[in-house]
Structure 1
Amino acid sequence: MTLTSISPDHRLDVTGLVDCAARYAAEVDAARRLRRESVAALVEAGFPRHFVPSQWGGAAGGFAPLVEAAITVGESCPATAWCATLFAAHGRLAAYLPERAREEIWGQGPDTLIAASVMPPSGQATPVPGGWLLRGEWGRASGVDFADWVLLASTVPDGDGETVRIFAVPAGDFLVKDTWRADGMRGTGTNTVTLHDTLVPEHRTVALPELLGTRRAGHARCHNVPYTLVAAVMFAAPLVGAALGAVADCGSTGAGRPSPDPDVLRALARSSPEAYAARLLLKEAAGRADQGLVDARTIARNRCDAAVAAELCVSAVDRLFTAYGGQYGGHGPAEGDPVHRRWRDVHTGAGHGALRFAPAADAYVKAFLG
């Protein structure tokens, strides 16, 4: 199918956020959550409103500027870039909710912070008059400590079968459990959401299949492409920033750092092109999402390119970590060293299900070779 090409010319101003992210990178890693200053800076940069429909004061922006901004912020702090990107991405998901819910979310302005836990579906949703009763736990909701709303997915009855529905729940109706203990991306505060028999009105729900296809004419391009076309691309962007940041760290000679030895320089010569190749892959994938044909091949190619970009980032930081650690007696850089932190962040981020290469490759082969 062919979708109308809309010029996604909105740009995110990340200058202040980059400075804030760099200043607090070590602190948010240790605290396992962002600082409020970082959250305020990502709002000021325009991330939460980036995909919000123009009707509600949002930018209805494109994927290419979001990916580029996420990479730039990720060079300073991948965890901050991860949360900023997802706050934008979840605004796009919320745009699929019925109009009454959209008014509740954005009626006071487009900078609402929306967290989400939609994959895999969790909890229990019971149909009741006027809506649904939700209870249970939903894990891995990045940035949820600061969220005004959260999107949660559950499997529900649908005729003779089942489907997945997404439910919008406002702050005050859910609890957050401090469960995030990952090795990397610690600062994302990817904690668990808990609900106890919470009523969600029918107008605050949407069926997941709505997000998997294209929509009717008249919607902005960013609201008219399948979730599967763009999800992996957005998840990969902070990892590319982390890999580029590791390249910069290994090449620097700041206070307390030895001058790069020959092993580090050779690692830089190999890892730097890998990181930039990953950036180019995402740039091309985001461009395909912003304009042109959307079909099974494009979706498969974007998924595969994002997965390969993540693998390139892992390869780049592994090589740098090993070579850079050789300067410290072969034991690797200390845990608080920026190279160590970026290495942890890339490995954790690359473990996300959306960036697994095997299913992406299977989809690619099926789409291109039948």
Structure 2
Amino acid sequence: MDYVLDRTSVTREEREQRADLVERASKLVPLLAANARRTEDDRRVVDENIAAIEEAGLFSIMQPRRFGGLQVDFRTKLEVTRELAKGCGSTAWATSLMNICAWFTGLWNEKAQRDVWANPAHRVAGVLAPTGSAEVVDGGYRVSGKWGWASGCLHSQWAQVGIPVTAEDGTVRDQGLVLIPMSELTIEDTWFVTGMKGTGSNTLVANDVFVPAHRYISFLGMIAGQVDNPFPDEALYRGAFVPSAVITLVGPQLGLARAALDLVLEKAPKRCIAHTFYDKQSDAPTFQLAVAKAASLVDSAHLHAYRAAADIDEAAQHGVFPDYAARARVRMDAARAISLAREAIRELVSAHGASSFADASPMQRIWRDSEVASRHAVGNPEISAEVYGRALLGFTSGVSPLV
């Protein structure tokens, strides 16, 4: 189904490119689905999936055209990620996070970007939380610390990690991100979870790594709309930082919900309702009502997500940094989309029946993936509602810096 909400200035060429990229992603769904069990068992996205996504050009969608990337808008990123998640939630999540880290890299200065994309095929993982330490030294920083959970780190050549920058008296004067080659980091195998098992979201470790000054960017500055990208014609990298980061979490949820709905609809004419006279689920009014409710929830999730993407893309296209209330609404829309998708999956699991939880059923993996991924802290629906409610009442602080 096509949802109308989009930025008003999207061109015919951009729509055609979006359709092409979504089709490329859709063609990969059977492969990703066939490898989903192995991705879980291996606790990493299987190499065959990574190679197929790379061949389809879907790791380059947020990369600047200057380095051979496609530089698409956030609506397109949402749709591509959604398609991939129909096959495998872990693969879609890792791909989505590596793509947003490519977008983050596009906010840096040109020299830092050239370091990363000296090889245009390089991928980037990242953790925004400032859980490391940094010492200011001649020419840059000495960085140490641990950062979890770094989705996509097993398939990336670079990493972005958060650091506090302190003054001589020990007070924090800034919070930033630094770019470090993966070859200078180690990975601790820490990702043991119930859902999204295959994302490989392990812990990055740095031990006294030198980072040149040009590979630092102020995280607080980015939140406020201050970036180092020197190319004013690259509208994509004028997008508001927090809304763009938050909307990244939504695509996999949309795809998981759609996959659950498709599976239940496909199986309904072939399954009975135990201990009733219904030989086919599809004949039962209670089942019909359940799938109608679930489908409406999936539709509503898409509409919230696409409105958020349209807000981000339209503001970026016109070089406008959205005000606090607009950014708060995007965060609310994203959280609402995640919650609606999760609710749809729960409804579908119940409608499908207890066999949803059989090891052989994709439903149990979809359910687990959704339950885990939907609880990412930035997508917290209660905090997002508090941020939005306060914004509606004129407050512009007091809950979270991530707005």
TM over 0.5: yes
Residue number in structure 2 paired with 1:31: 42
- Displacement of 1:71 after TM fit? 1.1
Q: Give a deviation string over 1:102-144, Cα, whole Å, max 9, x none.
A: 11111232x32111011x2212111222211111211110111
Q: Percent identity?
A: 27
Query: What one-letter code is carried by the residue in structure 1 that aligns with 2:254?
Result: V
Supply the distance in 1 between the matched residues of 2:231 and 2:200 (Cα, whole angstroms).
38
Q: In the alignment, does 2:337 pair up with 1:295?
A: no
Q: In the alignment, does 2:241 pair up with 1:218?
A: no
Structure 1 residues 134 and 336: alpha-carbon distance in aligned structure 2, compared to 1, 3 A threshold: farther
- Displacement of 1:97 after TM fit? 2.1
Once the two structures are superposed, the pairs formed by residues 137-148 of structure 1 within 5 Å of their partners are 137-148=146-157
Name the TM-score, length of structure 1 as normaliser.
0.90
Q: Give a deviation string over 1:249-301, Cα, whole Å, max 9, x none.
A: 122239x9665374544422211110121012111211111114522222111
Give the conservation status (yes or no) of the 8 Å contact 2:195–2:373. Answer: yes
Structure 1 residues 356 and 123: alpha-carbon distance in aligned structure 2, compared to 1, 3 A threshold: same
Please identify, of 209-218 and 178-187, the stretch whose mean Cα deviation from structure 2 is larger: 209-218
Residue number in structure 2 paired with 1:128: 137
Supply the distance in 1 between the matched residues of 2:26 and 2:351 (Cα, whole angstroms).
31
Please identify, of 164-173 and 219-228, the stretch whose mean Cα deviation from structure 2 is larger: 219-228
Residue number in structure 1 paired with 2:373: 349
Give the conservation status (yes or no) of the 8 Å contact 1:246–1:339. Answer: yes
Q: Give a deviation string over 1:32-51, Cα, whole Å, max 9, x none.
A: 11011111122223333222
Once the two structures are superposed, the pairs formed by residues 17-166 of structure 1 within 5 Å of their partners are 17-109=28-120, 111-118=121-128, 120-158=129-167, 161-166=172-177
Q: In the alignment, does 2:383 pair up with 1:339?
A: no
Residue number in structure 2 paired with 1:320: 348
Give the conservation status (yes or no) of the 8 Å contact 1:6–1:220. Answer: no
Q: In the alignment, does 2:244 pair up with 1:246?
A: no
Structure 1 residues 77 and 265: alpha-carbon distance in aligned structure 2, compared to 1, 3 A threshold: farther
Supply the distance in 2 between the matched residues of 1:154 and 1:105 (Cα, whole angstroms).
19
Supply the distance in 1 between the matched residues of 2:41 and 2:63 (Cα, whole angstroms).
32
Supply the distance in 1 between the matched residues of 2:31 and 2:138 (Cα, whole angstroms).
47
Supply the distance in 2 between the matched residues of 1:297 and 1:335 (Cα, whole angstroms).
45
Once the two structures are superposed, the pairs formed by residues 225-304 of structure 1 within 5 Å of their partners are 225-253=239-267, 260=281, 262=284, 264-292=287-315, 294-304=322-332
- Displacement of 1:333 after TM fit? 1.8
Query: What one-letter code is carried by the residue in structure 2 that aligns with 1:260?
Result: Q
- Displacement of 1:368 after TM fit? 2.1
Structure 1 residues 270 and 200: alpha-carbon distance in aligned structure 2, compared to 1, 3 A threshold: same
**1:97 alignment partner, SS class:** coil
- Displacement of 1:336 after TM fit? 4.1
**1:60 alignment partner, SS class:** coil
Structure 1 residues 140 and 257: alpha-carbon distance in aligned structure 2, compared to 1, 3 A threshold: farther
Structure 1 residues 144 and 217: alpha-carbon distance in aligned structure 2, compared to 1, 3 A threshold: closer
Residue number in structure 1 paired with 2:3: none
Supply the distance in 2 between the matched residues of 1:20 and 1:354 (Cα, whole angstroms).
31
Runs of 4+ in 1 over 6 A off after TM superposition: none
Give the conservation status (yes or no) of the 8 Å contact 1:63–1:290. Answer: yes
Give the conservation status (yes or no) of the 8 Å contact 2:149–2:202. Answer: yes
Supply the distance in 2 between the matched residues of 1:295 and 1:161 (Cα, whole angstroms).
26
- Displacement of 1:171 after TM fit? 2.1
Supply the distance in 2 between the matched residues of 1:128 and 1:39 (Cα, whole angstroms).
38
Q: In the alignment, does 2:369 pair up with 1:364?
A: no
**2:165 alignment partner, SS class:** strand
Supply the distance in 1 between the matched residues of 2:208 and 2:271 (Cα, whole angstroms).
54
Supply the distance in 2 between the matched residues of 1:175 and 1:312 (Cα, whole angstroms).
37
Give the conservation status (yes or no) of the 8 Å contact 1:16–1:41. Answer: no
Query: What one-letter code is carried by the residue in structure 1 that aligns with 2:362?
Result: P
**1:75 alignment partner, SS class:** helix
Supply the distance in 1 between the matched residues of 2:25 and 2:92 (Cα, whole angstroms).
10
- Displacement of 1:222 after TM fit? 1.5
Residue number in structure 1 paired with 2:336: 308
Q: Give a deviation string over 1:220-243, Cα, whole Å, max 9, x none.
A: 221002211222211011011101
Query: What one-letter code is carried by the residue in structure 1 that aligns with 2:312?
Result: A
Structure 1 residues 6 and 170: alpha-carbon distance in aligned structure 2, compared to 1, 3 A threshold: farther
- Displacement of 1:214 after TM fit? 3.1
Q: Give a deviation string over 1:169-195, Cα, whole Å, max 9, x none.
A: 112101111111111111111111111
**2:183 alignment partner, SS class:** coil
Give the conservation status (yes or no) of the 8 Å contact 2:174–2:218. Answer: yes
- Displacement of 1:28 after TM fit? 0.8
**1:81 alignment partner, SS class:** helix
**1:52 alignment partner, SS class:** coil
Supply the distance in 2 between the matched residues of 1:37 and 1:58 (Cα, whole angstroms).
22
Unpaired stretches in structure 1, ≥5 consecutive residues: none
